[in-house]
Amino acid sequence: MSDLIIRPTAKFIILRFVVTGIIFLALEIVYFAYWKGARGTDLIPFFAPIIFIPAFRRLISRQLTTVTLSGDRLRYQTGLFSKTTRTIQLSKVQDVRVDQRPGQRMFGVGDLSIETAGDTSRLTIAEVDHPQDAADEILNRAQGGATAIQ
């Protein structure tokens, strides 16, 4: 059985970059068309790229969050400098839940929650592509079956 890697989707990150890019271009156009030379607006073109910071933070966060199904274990790993790893035996998985808000449903994305036996905490992976397929695969592997995500 091959390893299955689950990551948050990049769909919303791409959308954030597109919207932020449009806002950035609008600011630059307005500045050069109307505000150039106006008092107190000289630094706008240099500070306008700051609006990209939230999108870049989200992109980096996505790259640093990974769930790996390998053999009889599920490993949730997150972090850049200090890593946090949580390893769960698949035989201990009791419940896998998929939550989808209306915007997520339009894009085929959802939040995946995994609950284990004897554990009061719930492991949640936000914004996963094809979350129901991933949930079914986790449950199949937890029960010893092997089917692949399409």
Collapsing DSSP to helix, strand or coil, 126 comes out as strand
Per-residue pLDDT tens digits of the chain, which is 150 residues long: 688 899 999 999 999 999 999 999 998 888 888 877 777 777 777 787 899 999 999 999 888 999 999 988 999 999 888 899 999 898 888 889 999 999 999 999 999 999 987 756 788 899 999 999 999 999 999 887 544 444
Q: Which CATH number fits domain 4-142: 2.30.29.30, 3.30.1120.10, 3.90.1710.10, 3.30.470.20?
A: 2.30.29.30
| 84-93 long-range Cβ contacts below 8 angstroms, 24+ apart | 86/123, 88/114, 88/116, 88/123, 90/138, 90/141, 90/142, 91/142, 92/116, 92/117, 92/118, 92/119, 93/117, 93/138, 93/139, 93/142
Global confidence as pTM:
0.74
In terms of C-beta density within 10 A (0-12 exposed, 13-18 middle, 19 or more buried), how is residue 31 classed? middle
Parse the chain into domains and list their residue ranges. 4-142
Amino acid at 79: G
